[in-house]
Amino acid sequence: MSKKIVIAGAGIGGLCAALALAKRGFQVAVYEQSLHLGEIGAGLQLSPNAMHVLQVLGIADEAKAKAFIPASAVMRHYQTGKKYFTVPLADTARQKYGANYLHIHRADLHTVLKCACEKLNVSIHLGQAIRSYQHCPQNWDPNNLTLRNLTIQFENSESLEADVLIGADGIKSHVQSCMLGQTPAEFTGQVAWRGVVEANKLPKGLIQSNANLWVGPGKHFVSYYLRGGDLINFVAVQERTDWQKESWNEPGDINELRDTFKGWHPEVTELLGATKSCFLWALFDRQPLTQWTDRSVALLGDACHPMLPFLAQGAAMAIEDSYALAHCLANENDTQTALKSYQNIRLTRTSNIQLAARKNAGLYHMSSPLAQAKLAVLSGLSNLGISDRVAVNKLDFIYAYNIVEQLN
Ligand SMILES: Cc1cc2nc3c(=O)[nH]c(=O)nc-3n(C[C@H](O)[C@H](O)[C@H](O)COP(=O)(O)OP(=O)(O)OC[C@H]3O[C@@H](n4cnc5c(N)ncnc54)[C@H](O)[C@@H]3O)c2cc1C
């Protein structure tokens, strides 16, 4: 009897894990609470460390065909536009790390993952929210191999038996609460506005074909192209405590957003001037966890390591998790041992990135004399190219990591 693996959540993490497991021959069923399958209308940066996994899953080219490849990542002063650093991407990233750096619409990546899952007969069940799980050791009977050791309960009171449960159910994970007790994620005192604008609404060439990062007191702004340059995605982050809704679909007030970034560089203000609508949501994260598994249950993605988006690595980490999880389950007969190895492979890396993303908030928001001094040094060294090298070295620990090579 092959292992029956249930995944809670059909986000990028859940679908990527389903695909990685199905590629290894497992029988996988995904249960998603929403009635409709999809992702929000926003962009995602996918760094080479994530692209290695998409390559081995056979979907990198399809993702690339729907994406935009940025020339560089550039950090600049919010008013003067003075550069702090430039990190070359495009061909440089491909040659250096062996994979592309992409900007992709979330819905496009989600569709690619969903279609690949369907081709491998992953069953995806919508409108099914998982509430909790229970191990049932009394089920174990060596003479009856159809018994499963895990019972999964749904919000609608139905239940299901399985061998393995993966909680990929996001930052408010029920699987995590059941495993570790209620430990809600923490509000970080920051909110993010996001929007997507058609590129033809702006003067050609105004928005540079980079990952553009503008930093200013208490705020920062990121913009980049999607879909071969047809769309421009932006994320505007502001330190603010009066808004704590963690919903991806809460409309923001576009005039308030324009006011918030008034006086910023024209590349920012003109982009916001061309924007008709936006969304606003509060940013949450949590201290790194020390446990992600409980016998035949494990967590993945934001369910175990939600992070601030200031290194653009949340989805990338869920993608790396997926490969490691499938590798461990395929190479170890005992589920509990496999899940423990998965946790051991992933925990240090994701914890380091969670903490590094938090640290970037101080720098991006000029929030302390030390952060201001660092920015002054970066700015002073930028003409000599030294700040570029400092930034590249800092990002290398993220981008140069190849989980596929690591585990083979
Ligand atoms: C502003 C912003 C920008 C970002 N930019 C980037 C970026 O550029 N690059 C990057 O790599 N990352 C980025 N991230 C992070 C990234 O979006 C997340 O880390 C990633 O989406 C997490 O995926 P996930 O599948 O783990 O969780 P989610 O995307 O939250 O998916 C969880 C799924 O589980 C479902 N679910 C929830 N509860 C249940 C339940 N009880 N039963 C069944 N289903 C359930 C949900 O409906 C959802 O479909 C950004 C995040 C933010 C906030």
- 130 CB near ligand 1 (under 6 Å): yes
Residue 173 CA, closest ligand 1 atom number:
38
**Left, alpha or beta for 2 (phi > 0: left; psi -120 to 50: alpha)?**
beta
> Is the CB of residue 29 below 6 angstroms from any atom belonging to ligand 1?
no
How does DSSP classify residue 10?
-
* Whether residue 143 has pLDDT greater than 80: no
CA distance 254 to 280: 10
Query: How many Å lie between the centroid of ligand 1 and the Cα of residue 50?
Result: 15
pLDDT tens, position by position, 353-390 = 999 999 898 889 988 888 888 888 888 887 777 888 88
pLDDT in tens, 85-101: 999 999 999 999 999 99
Q: What pLDDT shows up at residue 367?
A: 81
Name the least confident of 178-182, 192-196, 360-364.
360-364
What is the SS3 assignment for 165? strand
What average pLDDT does this structure show over 95-118?
97
Per-residue pLDDT tens digits for 1-40 = 578 999 999 999 999 999 999 999 999 999 999 999 877 7
Tokens of 89: 């991407």
What does the pLDDT average to over 127-135?
96
Q: 141 vs 208, which has greater pLDDT?
A: 208
Question: Residue 298's closest CA among 82, 96, 3?
Answer: 3
* Tokens (6 digits) for 35: 């009635």
**Which of residues 142 and 35 earns the better pLDDT score?**
35
Q: Among 208-212, 282-286, 308-312, 397-401, where is mean pLDDT lowest?
A: 282-286
Find out whether the beta carbon of 11 lies less than 6 Å from any atom of ligand 1. Answer: yes
The 297-299 sheet, strands edge to edge: 123-125, 27-31, 4-8, 164-167, 297-299, 293-294
CA-CA-CA-CA dihedral for 290, 312, 329, 400, to nearest 10: -100
pLDDT at 235: 97
Q: Residue 22's pLDDT is what?
A: 97
Q: How far is the CA of 375 from the centre of ligand 1 (A)?
A: 31
From residue 13, alpha-carbon distances to 39, 70, 118, 275, 276 in Å are: 12, 24, 16, 30, 30
CB under 8 Å, gap of 24 or more: what pairs does 28-31 form?
28/117, 28/122, 28/123, 29/4, 29/5, 29/122, 29/123, 29/124, 29/125, 29/162, 30/6, 30/117, 30/122, 30/123, 30/124, 30/125, 31/6, 31/7, 31/125, 31/128, 31/129, 31/130, 31/154
Kindly tell me the burial class for residue 269, based on how many C-beta atoms sit within 10 Å of its own C-beta (0-12, 13-18, 19 or more).
Answer: middle
Query: Looking at residue 398, what is its pLDDT?
Result: 96
Q: Is 70 in the pocket of ligand 1 (CB under 6 A)?
A: no
Nearest-atom number in ligand 1 for the CA of 129 is 42
- Report the predicted TM-score, pTM, of the whole model to 2 decimal places: 0.95
Q: What does the pLDDT read at residue 372?
A: 87
Active site residue 224: yes
Q: Cα(255)–Cα(276) distance, rounded to whole angstroms? A: 10
Q: What are phi and psi of 342, to 5 degrees?
A: -55, -50
Q: How far apart are CA 223 and CA 310, in angstroms?
A: 13
What is the rounded average pLDDT of the residues 392-402? 93
CB atoms within 10 A of CB 394: 14
- Would the pLDDT of 156 be above 90? yes
**69-78, 204-213, 235-244, range with the lowest pLDDT:** 235-244
pLDDT digits (tens, 9 = 90+) for 323-334: 999 999 999 999
Provide the token pair at 105.
Answer: 């619409």
For residues 9 and 303, the answer to whether their CB atoms sit within 8 Å is yes
pLDDT digit string, tens, across residues 230-249: 999 999 999 988 766 666 66
Q: Using a 6 Å cutoff on CB, does residue 124 contact ligand 1?
A: no
Phi and psi at 274, nearest 5°, equal: -90, 0
Compute, in angstroms, the gap from residue 314 CA to the centroid of ligand 1. 8
| Residues shown for the chain | 408
Nearest CA to ligand 1 atom 3: 309
Span 219-223, average pLDDT? 97
d(CA 385, CA 263): 28
CA–CA distances in Å: residue 82 to residues 215, 258, 383, 385: 10, 22, 10, 14
List the residue whose alpha carbon is closest to atom 38 of ligand 1. 169
Give mean pLDDT, residues 246-258: 83
Contact 204, 237 (CB under 8 A): no
Which atom of ligand 1 is the closest one to the Cα of 302? 26
CA dihedral 114, 115, 117, 122 (to 10 degrees): 90
pLDDT band at 259 (very low <50, low <70, confident <90, very high): very high
Q: Taking a C-beta distance cutoff of 8 angstroms, is the pair 398, 360 a contact?
A: no
Average pLDDT, the chain: 92
* 195 ligand 1 Cβ < 6 A: no
CA of 168 to the centre of ligand 1 (A): 9
What is the Å distance from ligand 1's center to 170 Cα? 5
- Check pLDDT > 90 for residue 396: yes
Q: Is the pLDDT of residue 220 over 90?
A: yes
The pLDDT, as a whole number, for residue 247 is 64
Catalytic hit among 224, 323, 342, 364: 224
Strands (E) in 93-247, as ranges, are: 102-105, 123-125, 130-135, 150-154, 159-162, 164-167, 186-198, 211-216, 219-226, 231-239
Query: Whose CA is closest to atom 7 on ligand 1?
Result: 312
Q: What is the pLDDT of residue 386?
A: 85
